Amino acid sequence: MLLYALRRLIYLVPVAFGVSLLVFALVHLAPGDPISAIVPPDAPKEVVDKLKEYYGFDKPLPVQYGRWLLVTLSGDFGTSIGTGRSVAQEVGSAFGNTIILAISACTLAFSLAVFLGTAAAYAKSRIVDRLVTSISLVGVSVPHFWLAIVLVIVFSVELGMLPPMGLGPENATGWRLDWPHIQHMILPTIALSVIPLGVMTRTVRSTIKEILSMEFVTALQAKGMNDRQILFHVLKNAAPVCLAVMGLQAGNLIGGSILIETVFAWPGTGFLLNSAIFRRDLPILQGTTLVLAFFFMMLNLTVDVIQTMVDPRIKRG
């Protein structure tokens, strides 16, 4: 197990290099001049040239990439063009807020998916199966940003039950585990959990149905095991497949939350990326995208290791 994890970490090195190159290229190939976002249109050419020299934009792209990579490897992501703050501080604060929201959405989506998928697989009534299938289909089909807007209109504007935006009451900059802050999480959590709920429900249902038709389940019933003991063995055999899909969906929650965080003004990485795109803040764009990409890679590695621990029959080459 340890050798497998170390081998996978070594494999991540060339992947990480490719990701950094791709992130840098995509950000710099986008149209627009980052300096024009912080200087007035009638600014003297000397001022613009000085700013380009200060941020290193006067150098060729290969030189810029080499300098950025060396600085990034040292743990310094540079300075934001728009705010003048350290990119590491900006991204670190936003990433923490995104993780809080993602954990909440993952907990809601995955717990409901396991319950609904298992109920549909075991259901003898076709009505229950069709109901769960319809719920999962709606979850996959409904655009989460549209659902977010509908939730704000219904529960914030019309009913006034929940706050529509922000991290907490009175423009809070940090999240705390209390009811006023939890209220601000309810709507974005629901909107963000809809897609993984639909995907995971279908995965759990189809996987468990397939396992229930296997011969070992009949053998367990012949041995006199009760339904709870058999369910334990079924879930254990379904865990590797479900964990793989859960890992992908959790990564998508982290990287795909830009629209949800923008609708609810949740100060996470998605909201930060959206602001950086409009400001053409290249250091923020590069730093945020790189952190999200590395997190996704480490998440996949963690899921692979957990899969092997849950089911030792899985052999990794």
Q: 247 versus 207: which is more confidently predicted?
A: 207
Beta-bridge mates of residue 276: none
Domain of residue 126, residue span: 87-272
What CATH number has the domain bearing residue 219? 1.10.3720.10
**Per-residue pLDDT at 1:** 64
> What is the percent of the chain where pLDDT is above 70?
94
**Reported confidence tier of residue 316, pLDDT bands at 50, 70, 90:** low
Question: What is the enclosing helix (H) or strand (E) of 182?
Answer: helix 179-212
Whether 205 and 136 have beta carbons less than 8 Å apart is answered as yes
Which residue spans within the chain are E strands per DSSP? none
CB atoms within 10 A of CB 260: 27
Structure tokens at 297: 């890679």
pLDDT single digits (tens) 173-188: 677 788 888 898 999 9
On whether residue 9 sits in a domain, the answer given is no
Look at residue 177 and tell me if it is in a domain: yes
Average pLDDT score over the chain: 84
Q: Note the pLDDT of residue 90.
A: 87
Is the residue at 14 inside a domain? no
The answer to whether position 226 is within a domain reads yes
36-40, 190-194, 264-268, 300-304: the lowest-pLDDT one: 36-40
- Residue 73 class from Cβ within 10 Å (0-12 exposed, 13-18 middle, 19+ buried)? exposed
Mean pLDDT of 9-29: 82
Residue 78 maps to a domain = no
Q: Identify whether 22 is part of a domain.
A: no
Domain membership of residue 310 (yes or no) is no
Instruction: Give the start-end residues of each E strand in 25-141.
Output: none
Place 149 in a pLDDT band, splitting at 50, 70 and 90. Answer: very high
∠ at Cα 133 (302, 217), nearest 5°?
Answer: 65
> With contact defined as beta carbons under 8 Å apart, do 37 and 30 qualify?
no
State pLDDT tens for residues 42-86: 778 787 788 777 777 778 888 888 888 888 888 778 788 777 788
Residue 257: per-residue pLDDT: 75
Residue 15 lies in a domain: no
Total count of domains within the chain? 1
Q: What are phi and psi of 86, to 5 degrees?
A: -65, 135
